[in-house]
Amino acid sequence: MANRPKPAAAARAAMAAAANVTRGLEQVLTTVTEPGSKPDGRKQRWEKHKLARRTELTDGVIAAVRDLGADVGMDEIAAHIGVSKTVLYRYFTDKSDLGVATTVRFFETTIWPRLTEAISDDLDEFTLTRTVIGVYVHAVDNEPNLYRFALASSPTSSPAPAESVRLVSQLVMSSMVLRMAERGSDTTGAELWANALVGGIQHVVDWWMTTRTLDADQVVDYLTMMVWSAVVGVTAVEGSREAFMAAPPPLPEPASADPGSTDAPSAEAPSTQAPTTENAGS
């Protein structure tokens, strides 16, 4: 068996593969190029300045939302930063654009570094699974005002920009492929599984942040239960779709149906309240 690659190498490979996405998150949102136009140096310098100024203002928005709450308006945000509302509209088209930029910045500065650090650690698979889920759940839980501001400003049903979700999916897929390949497993489904995991967890957290029916640790545990069960099932068939479909694992029998259990009621035992043959007709 080949030497196991270090998890840190997996994280570096994932980050290298996704570097263009990382650098392009804000550019995708801020740079508009007219069809057929050729870039010139002066325009590129302006775009670079605009991006830097937009990032600076976004950091100010994050501070304002943390201090003033999720329902803060554009006038209050501008006053908290110390600029006019006209300046904000020079760099953000509307509050929706501001919400997306805030979410992207929070992802870049908080969630992404924590995820890459977790995957870089030399953790066993179960601990890694729970740690990655916990990073996202607790990051959102610790910033409810930012989350609600982004959700209220989002043009979609979720505050997470598609590019950010794609970046996390790439990171998860790279780690998944590395760990499956060292076992000699089929990695054909890795990209699909990574997207299903990331998208599913994202939607669960979106739902949970609006209902708050569980605490953060419960959410992490229940998500880990579901995800780890899937990991065990995939690993049991070495990632093979054919092997799984040929013999899908059966559901375990309920504990109460175990014939060896002393707590299980016996189907053969007569009720103590049932009438006997002698007095049934009396």
Residue 262: pLDDT over 60 = no
Within a domain: residue 270? no
In whole angstroms, give the CA distance from residue 5 to residue 8: 8
Within a domain: residue 13? no
In whole angstroms, give the CA distance from residue 90 to residue 185: 52
Domain limits at 115? 95-251
Q: Which amino acid is at 266?
A: S
Neighbouring residues of 141: CB distance < 8 A, sequence distance ≥ 6: 209, 216
CATH number of 231's domain:
1.10.357
CA distances, 173 to each of 109, 119, 232, 238 (Å):
21, 11, 16, 16
Q: Residue 271: pLDDT band by 50, 70, 90 thresholds? A: very low
Q: Residue 194: pLDDT band by 50, 70, 90 thresholds? A: very high
CA-based R_g, the chain, Å: 26
- pLDDT tens-place string over residues 149-188: 887 776 565 566 677 788 888 888 988 998 899 899 999 9
Residues 50 and 172 in one domain: no
Asked if 167 contacts 16 with a C-beta cutoff of 8 angstroms, the reply is: no
DSSP-assigned states of every residue in 8-30:
HHHHHHHHHHTHHHHHHHHHHHH
Within a domain: residue 37? no
- pLDDT tens-place string over residues 15-50: 554 544 444 444 444 444 444 555 567 777 777 888
Which percentage of the chain shows pLDDT scores above 70? Answer: 74
From the CB of residue 153, how many other CB atoms can be counted at a distance below 10 Å? 19
Residues 76 and 152 in one domain: no
Residues 80 and 138 in one domain: no
In whole angstroms, give the CA distance from residue 171 to residue 112: 10
Residues 185 and 68 in one domain: no
Instruction: For residue 243, give both structure tokens.
Output: 């092997």
Name the pTM for this structure.
Answer: 0.73
From the CB of residue 89, how many other CB atoms can be counted at a distance below 10 Å? 15
Residues 167 and 124 in one domain: yes
